[in-house]
Amino acid sequence: MIATMQTIDAQWESEATTGHVVSGELDLTHKVILYLDDITVSFDGFKALNNLSLAIDAGELRCIIGPNGAGKTTMMDVITGKTRPDTGTAFFGQTMDLTRMTEPQIAHAGIGRKFQKPTVFEKHTVFENLELAMKADKRVRRALFARLSGEERDRIAEVLKRIRLDRHADRVAGLLSHGQKQWLEIGMLLMQEPRLLLLDEPVAGMTDEETERTAELFVSLAGEHSLVVVEHDMSFVGALGGKVTVLCDGAVLAEGDLATVQADPRVIEVYLGR
């Protein structure tokens, strides 16, 4: 039994590493960066995702809302390769089949994910955190404490500015506010130059001001990056201004601008009915 599983794993690995599915550049010829179609994920017979279909355009800033248990986190698990769907297709651009790629392959292809809790290196400075994030990607080429090139320093400086921590570069990350830690972690993701960013409840626990700054940051990232943001805070979702998808019972219930979906009786029902 174990031998069989290993054989299957080995076959899968070799297909995943040699097939066309993981090679080459991200193909955005049809302007769609993420395409999910008819995805189902079951846990002991319970369908966490139930024929979920969703398409995200290149450069889009999309919000996903929905009651607890709707399947939002499970959807991100499918996109990042953490969970394999039972059925359905998931494509990154035109050619990369996410259901046939490993988690590291998906990350390397340009999908970055931020989890709810910030996971920065508390004892290192803000600058060092960004440096470590950059080098995690280039570890084969470079030793961890090798000197940074001018280009790499510029890149770190650019990200520091973007996440509003340029005046805190030499501070130990453990001393930052909760909101600043969240921004630092977003900065660490940006060091990897992702094309698609997945952000699960990024403003939970932030002050109102931090929440507003985060909305500005995300709006500024859209275009160059595509963003999928799961969030409960409706004023934040409104500030992002993008299209909103409402998930419920593992499928799309409604989609449109925030005002339209908030006025939808089916959406009102699922929020008030639970």
Interface positions with ligand ADP (CB under 6 A):
43, 48, 66, 68-74
Q: How far is the CB of 74 from ligand ADP (least distance, A)?
A: 3
Indicate the residue among 73 and 180 with the shorter CB distance to ligand ADP: 73
Pick between residue 160 and residue 248 the one whose CB is nearest to ligand ADP: 248
The minimum distance between CB 44 and ligand ADP, in angstroms, equals: 7
The least CB distance from residue 135 to ligand ADP, in Å, is: 32
- Report in angstroms how near the CB of residue 43 gets to ligand ADP at its nearest: 3
3-state secondary structure the chain: CHHHHHHHHHHHHHHHHHCHHHCCCCCCCCCEEEEEEEEEEEECCEEEEEEEEEEEECCCEEEEECCCCCCHHHHHHHHCCCCCCCEEEEEECCCEEHHHCCHHHHHHHCEEEECCCCCCCCCCEHHHHHHHHHHHHCCCCCCCCCCCCHHHHHHHHHHHHHCCCHHHCCCEHHHCCHHHHHHHHHHHHHHCCCCEEEEECCCCCCCHHHHHHHHHHHHHHECCEEEEEECCCHHHHHHHCCCEEEEECCEEEEEECHHHHHHCHHHHHHHHCC
Q: Which does 74 bind (CB under 5 to 8 A by kind): Mg ion, ligand ADP, none?
A: ligand ADP
Shortest CB 42 distance to Mg ion, Å: 18
* Cβ atoms within 10 Å of 8's Cβ, excluding its own: 10
- Identity of the residue, 64 or 190, whose beta carbon is nearer to Mg ion in the bound complex: 64
Through-space distance between the first and last CA atoms of the chain, rounded to whole angstroms: 44
Q: Does 226 bind Mg ion (CB under 5 A)?
A: no
What's the closest the beta carbon of residue 72 comes to Mg ion, in angstroms?
5
Cβ-based nearer residue to ligand ADP, 73 or 214 = 73
Cβ closest to Mg ion, residue 72 vs residue 213: 72
Judge whether 114 and 191 are in contact, CB under 8 Å. Answer: no
Task: For ligand ADP, give the closer residue by CB, 180 or 245.
Answer: 245
The item of ligand ADP, Mg ion, none sharing an interface with residue 69, based on CB under 5 to 8 Å by kind, is ligand ADP
Q: Which of 73, 129, 211, 262 binds Mg ion (CB under 5 A)?
A: 73
Part in contact with Mg ion (CB under 5 A); list of ranges 22-30, 70-78, 80-88, 233-241: 70-78
Q: Select the residue whose beta carbon is closest to Mg ion and give its number.
A: 73
Site residues, Mg ion (CB under 5 A)? 72-73
